[in-house]
């Protein structure tokens, strides 16, 4: 078919206009979306596919005339679709094939994967399409909104409800309860017809954590934030619930993620096989807004449209520039921006620090801190592993944090070290950086004795000691019997993130002096971070290096957590030592 002809059977096609502008370079898209557009173009010449634009145009008209935006800066304004959004809707609804089992033409695409950068309006768009389908589709249609958690599922549901409430003509035909949205208005009852109580169509929401128990016999399923799902356990009940329908419609909408080997990884692998004709899934519409390379993100702003089709209209270019600038200096921001703004897959564990960040050969004498106050940090190991204990010290009118540390390891653990690590540990033991505990377990009483020795020999008083929860019960009691105050520090995103970020900043500013301790340096080199969707981070081992240790880095972060939570009180004690 001639791509210059933008009509089909006398109907104007937004899809053909979009394809034409993408092919000419007027609209910039990535290679993967172009592959899907090429497949759609082939449909126009396929005698087995019937093309009818009327269903798509009916829903486009519904969205633009009945739906309004509910969030700033577009709140209260009509939902005027962009060209790519109209093309997307046409792609879903325009292609029909004859189904022998049903005995009539049905919609070709029943499964839709929509991948686009954050803040491009993906949730409002899919919500509007679902609402249009509820009103324009068959009577009794049941729609289910789902996501990894109830709050995220609520974003789609609330968007649909806001559009319903903001339209007088839609609001008077429907009602909302705590269970969902329903047809029929108690104030203006109709006895019969599609818009009466007779229509049992509903819109409801569930989360992955509910196990999709309500997802039975639905016509439309929409799952948001697919990148957060670890497997298909919450997806399959929804897809199976569509199996009774003649023309089911299933949406997966998402950005890229940071979960390794998760559900989205498998879906995208299959999707790319479909686009390259390695896998036959003719009922699957794969609409991917992705970059062709990571390098183009940093070198060419125009390439940003490939993953951000609403750039300049919904998403601000200035915002994206700011994110790119921050990503150049902050690794957590870089991981988040590349995955969420540009759909470039990131590992869920990435190296935390550069060699220059860690390097600090400054040393000090612990005698210099006689009579000072410190903050303790302990990472108690599992049986047969490394234990780290340290104290963080500060001087009046000095922003530096000085770390004095010691490590403990069971004798049996040395036998299991690699040849390289064994030589390293032997040298550290010789230099008295590590105490070897007889047998198979660390003796945590030696950790208590180490802290007490600091007090006894140097009158270093520990303001508070942070510890992780592993095997800590009897050790906590022992420490408290010596008069130490302790605080449990959970190793989770909410607890560790701010402290880890401040440790990173202080390392880069050379404000952390760890006395050039080689084990500290080694632990920092081994430390990676994982990132959640809130851009919180927490420490983990570098992927594929489970035998390496990060305990020293963890205790630094624990000390910083205690410091952050008690900064005014601790700094007041530091001043007293002047």
Q: Answer yes or no: is pLDDT of 309 > 70.
A: yes
Q: How much is the average pLDDT of 394-404?
A: 96
Query: What are 109-142's pLDDT values in tens digits?
Result: 999 999 999 999 999 999 999 999 999 999 999 9
Query: What are 39-60's pLDDT values in tens digits?
Result: 999 999 999 999 999 999 999 9
Q: Is the dihedral of CA 217, 220, 225, 228 positive or negative?
A: positive
C-beta of residue 443 within 8 angstroms of C-beta of residue 437: yes
Number of H helices, E strands in the chain: 21, 23
Q: How much is the average pLDDT of 482-504?
A: 95
Whole-number Cα distances in Å, 107 to 48, 264, 289, 410: 13, 25, 23, 66
CA–CA distance, 410 with 416 (Å, rounded to integer): 11
Query: What are 281-307's pLDDT values in tens digits?
Result: 999 999 999 999 888 999 999 999 999
Question: What percent of the chain clears pLDDT 90, i.e. is strictly above it?
Answer: 69
User: What is the enclosing helix (H) or strand (E) of 24?
Assistant: helix 14-24
Length of the chain in residues, anyone? 578
**Residue reference for tokens 């020293």:** 552
Question: What percent of the chain clears pLDDT 70, i.e. is strictly above it?
Answer: 95
Q: How much is the average pLDDT of 175-185?
A: 92
Residue 185 is given by DSSP the state: B
- Collect all residues with Cβ–Cβ distance below 8 Å to 157 and sequence separation of at least 6: 145, 180, 181, 203, 204, 205
Give residue 348's pLDDT.
Answer: 61
Domain spans in the chain, listed from the N-terminal domain onward: 7-340, 355-576
- Collect all residues with Cβ–Cβ distance below 8 Å to 405 and sequence separation of at least 6: 388, 389, 390, 391, 514, 515, 517, 519, 520, 552, 555
**Residue reference for tokens 């002096």:** 513
C-beta of residue 84 within 8 angstroms of C-beta of residue 20: no
Give residue 323's pLDDT.
Answer: 93
C-beta of residue 290 within 8 angstroms of C-beta of residue 307: yes
Q: Answer yes or no: is pLDDT of 234 > 80.
A: no
pLDDT grade for 236, boundaries at 50, 70 and 90? confident
Stronger pLDDT, 259 or 438, i.e. the higher one: 438
Q: Which CATH number fits domain 355-576: 3.40.109.10, 3.40.50.410, 3.30.420.240, 3.40.50.1000?
A: 3.30.420.240
Phi, psi of 265 (to 5 degrees): -55, -45
Strand, coil or helix: 251:
strand
Query: What are 356-376's pLDDT values in tens digits?
Result: 899 999 999 999 999 999 999
Token pair listed for 72: 């700033």
CA–CA distance, 383 with 441 (Å, rounded to integer): 5
CA–CA distance, 134 with 194 (Å, rounded to integer): 10
Q: Is the dihedral of CA 508, 510, 513, 517 positive or negative?
A: positive
Give residue 106's pLDDT.
Answer: 95
Give the DSSP per-residue string, 403-451. Answer: EEEEEEEEHHHHTTS-HHHHHHHHHHHHTTSEEEESTTS--HHHHHHHH
Per-residue buried b or exposed e for 272-304, using 16+ beta carbons within 10 Å of the residue's own CB: bebbeeeeeeeebbbbbbbbeeeebbeeeeebb
Token pair listed for 178: 């705590």
Q: Answer yes or no: is pLDDT of 439 > 90.
A: no
Stronger pLDDT, 521 or 241, i.e. the higher one: 521
C-beta of residue 81 within 8 angstroms of C-beta of residue 89: yes
Q: How much is the average pLDDT of 244-250?
A: 91
Q: Which CATH number fits domain 7-340: 3.30.365.10, 3.40.50.300, 3.40.710.10, 3.10.20.90?
A: 3.40.50.300
Give residue 543's pLDDT.
Answer: 65
pLDDT grade for 473, boundaries at 50, 70 and 90? confident
pLDDT grade for 4, boundaries at 50, 70 and 90? low
Strand, coil or helix: 238:
helix
Strand, coil or helix: 164:
helix
Q: How much is the average pLDDT of 310-322?
A: 93
Phi, psi of 433 (to 5 degrees): -85, -20
Q: Answer yes or no: is pLDDT of 215 > 60.
A: no
Q: Chain-wide mean pLDDT for the chain?
A: 91
SS in 3 state form for 81-130?
CCHHHHHHHHHHHCEEEEECCCCEEEECCCEEEEECCCCCCHHHHHHHHH
Whole-number Cα distances in Å, 108 to 1, 6, 284: 20, 21, 8
Q: Answer yes or no: is pLDDT of 73 > 90.
A: no
Would you say the pTM of this structure is higher than 0.85? no
C-beta of residue 553 within 8 angstroms of C-beta of residue 525: no
Q: Answer yes or no: is pLDDT of 212 > 60.
A: no
C-beta of residue 559 within 8 angstroms of C-beta of residue 379: no
Give residue 3's pLDDT.
Answer: 57
**Residue reference for tokens 């202080």:** 506
C-beta of residue 563 within 8 angstroms of C-beta of residue 375: yes
Q: Vertex 455, ends 453 and 461: CA angle to 5°?
A: 145
CA–CA distance, 360 with 504 (Å, rounded to integer): 13
Query: What are 255-271's pLDDT values in tens digits?
Result: 997 777 789 999 999 99
pLDDT grade for 578, boundaries at 50, 70 and 90? low
Query: What are 527-554's pLDDT values in tens digits?
Result: 988 888 788 999 998 766 777 899 999 9
Q: Answer yes or no: is pLDDT of 311 > 70.
A: yes
Query: What are 159-176's pLDDT values in tens digits?
Result: 999 999 999 999 999 999
SS in 3 state form for 303-347?
HHHHCCCCECCCECHHHHHHHHHHHCCCHHHHHHHHHHCCCCCCC
Q: Answer yes or no: is pLDDT of 421 > 90.
A: no
């Amino acid at each position: 078919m001639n791509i210059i002809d933008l009509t089909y059977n006398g109907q104007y096609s937004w899809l053909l206009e979009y394809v034409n502008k993408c092919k000419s370079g007027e609209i910039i898209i990535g290679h993967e979306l172009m592959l899907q557009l090429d497949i759609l173009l082939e449909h126009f010449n396929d005698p087995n596919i019937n093309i009818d634009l009327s269903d798509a145009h009916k829903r486009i008209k519904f969205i633009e005339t009945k739906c309004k935006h509910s969030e700033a800066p577009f709140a209260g304004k009509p939902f005027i679709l962009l060209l790519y959004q109209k093309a997307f809707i046409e792609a879903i609804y325009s292609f029909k094939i004859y189904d022998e089992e049903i005995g009539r033409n049905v919609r070709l695409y029943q499964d839709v994967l929509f991948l686009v950068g954050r803040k491009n309006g993906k949730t409002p768009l899919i919500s509007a399409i679902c609402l249009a389908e509820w009103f324009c589709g068959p009577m009794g249609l049941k729609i289910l909104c789902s996501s990894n958690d109830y709050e995220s599922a609520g974003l789609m549901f609330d968007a649909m409800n806001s559009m319903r409430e903001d339209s007088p003509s839609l609001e008077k035909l429907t009602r909302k309860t705590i269970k969902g949205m329903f047809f029929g208005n108690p104030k203006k009852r109709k006895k019969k017809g599609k818009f009466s109580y007779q229509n049992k169509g509903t819109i409801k929401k569930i989360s992955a954590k509910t196990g999709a128990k309500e997802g039975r016999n639905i016509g439309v399923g929409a799952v948001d934030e697919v990148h957060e799902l670890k497997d298909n356990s919450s997806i399959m009940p929804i897809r199976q619930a569509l199996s009774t329908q003649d023309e089911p419609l299933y949406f997966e909408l998402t950005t890229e993620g940071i979960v390794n080997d998760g559900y989205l990884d498998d879906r995208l692998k299959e999707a790319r096989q479909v686009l390259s004709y390695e896998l036959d899934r003719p009922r699957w519409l794969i609409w991917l807004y992705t970059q062709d390379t990571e390098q183009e993100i940093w070198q060419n702003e125009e390439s940003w449209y490939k993953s951000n089709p609403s750039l300049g209209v919904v998403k601000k270019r200035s915002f994206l520039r700011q994110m790119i600038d921050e990503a150049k200096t902050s690794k957590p921001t870089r991981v988040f921006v590349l995955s969420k703004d540009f759909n470039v897959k990131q590992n869920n564990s990435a190296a935390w620090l550069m060699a220059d960040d860690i390097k600090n050969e400054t040393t000090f004498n612990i005698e210099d801190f006689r009579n000072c106050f410190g903050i303790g940090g302990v990472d108690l190991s599992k049986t047969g592993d490394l234990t780290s204990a340290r104290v963080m010290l500060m001087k009046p009118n000095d922003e530096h944090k000085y770390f004095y540390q010691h490590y403990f390891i069971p004798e049996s653990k040395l036998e299991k070290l690699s040849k390289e690590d064994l030589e390293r540990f032997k040298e550290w033991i010789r230099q008295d950086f590590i105490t070897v505990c007889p047998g198979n377990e660390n003796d945590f009483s030696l950790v208590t004795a180490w802290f007490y020795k600091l007090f006894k020999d140097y009158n270093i008083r520990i303001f508070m000691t942070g510890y992780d929860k592993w095997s800590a019960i009897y050790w906590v009691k022992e420490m408290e019997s010596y008069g130490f105050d302790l605080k449990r520090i959970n190793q989770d995103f909410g607890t560790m993130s701010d402290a880890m970020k401040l440790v990173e900043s202080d390392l880069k500013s050379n404000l952390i002096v760890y006395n050039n301790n080689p084990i500290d340096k080694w632990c920092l080199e081994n430390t990676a971070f994982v990132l959640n969707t809130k851009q919180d981070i927490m420490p983990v081992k570098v992927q594929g290096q489970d035998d390496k240790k990060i305990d020293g880095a963890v205790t630094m972060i624990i000390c910083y957590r205690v410091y952050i939570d008690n900064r005014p009180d601790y700094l007041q004690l530091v001043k007293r030592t002047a």
